Amino acid sequence: MLIDTHAHMDDERYIGILDDVINEFMSQGGKLIINSSYDKKSIEDSIKLSEKYPIIYSTAGLHPHDAKTGDEEFFKFLEESCKRDKVVGVGEIGLDYYYDHSPRKVQQEMFLRQLLLAEKLEMPVAIHSRDAHKDTYDILKKFSGRVTGVMHSYSGSWEMAKNYLDLGYYISFSGPVTFKNSRKLPEVASKVPLDRILVETDSPYLTPVPFRGRTNTPSFVKYVAEKVADIREISFDSLMEAVEGNVRNLFGDIKF
């Protein structure tokens, strides 16, 4: 079984080839893709994909890059979107201090507001955090016991991962865990409890070894999972069995 817990299949790079990409994933044992969105159009497109493809579910959220576009009209739209069939979480949301496409204060405000929405709707969250782990943690800590979710494409240290785990979060690994220059992630992958691990591609980004330089696809989640299993010295099947259980525990009523 292959499960990709975070992808962006609405990306323009899949125009004209999406059916082939989905069919390839399914031919390799692919059972589930969770498509994460980042703005109004992406939410709309993600929901359409989930309606067309039985294996696709979606999350709805405003990415920190686009935080400056969050207004009252958007949040009404977001709340209604989160109530749609096959929308299983709020995301991706969080903080990005690497690019700073939106002012940091605005990012923080939109992050807080979406966490409040997740709490209201009793939904998990998919968290993006880049060069912002302290502020991300400080904000999530305010919702301890009220909101949980996944640290998507985790890039931080084991020490920070422990903090997120203490808040009840899952840790998701993507392509960088396979990179030769990845220094922190092998330690994190070896120490995160098996019942808190997820795997993803973040397609079309972060293509794993041995396909770096190519457009990523959900089929390549196999290489992420194989690397994590190798680090932990367990079988691929054992890891994916754990991932399946973790997906069901976190996202609830997903049929796959």
pLDDT at site 253: 79
Selection from 79, 16, 12, 70 nearest residue 38 by Cα: 70
Indicate the average pLDDT of the chain. Answer: 97
Residue 256 belongs to a domain: no
The single residue listed with the structure tokens 């807080």 is 112
Residue 163 belongs to a domain: yes
**Per-residue pLDDT reduced to its tens digit, 34-87:** 999 999 999 999 999 999 999 999 999 999 999 999 999 999 999 999 999 999
The confidence band for 138, taking pLDDT boundaries of 50, 70 and 90, is very high
Residue 122 belongs to a domain: yes
* Interval 240-251 mean pLDDT: 98
Residue 227 belongs to a domain: yes
Number of domains into which the chain is organized: 1
Residue 245 belongs to a domain: yes
Q: Percent helix, strand, coil in the chain (nearest 5)?
A: 50, 20, 35
Q: Which domain holds residue 7?
A: 2-251
> Residue 128 contacts by C-beta under 8 Å, 6 or more apart in sequence?
63, 64, 91, 92, 93, 94, 95, 96, 152, 153
The single residue listed with the structure tokens 């098996």 is 194
Share of the chain above pLDDT 70, in %: 100
CATH number at residue 36: 3.20.20.140
Neighbours of 12 (CB within 10 A): 7
Contact 152, 127 (CB under 8 A): yes
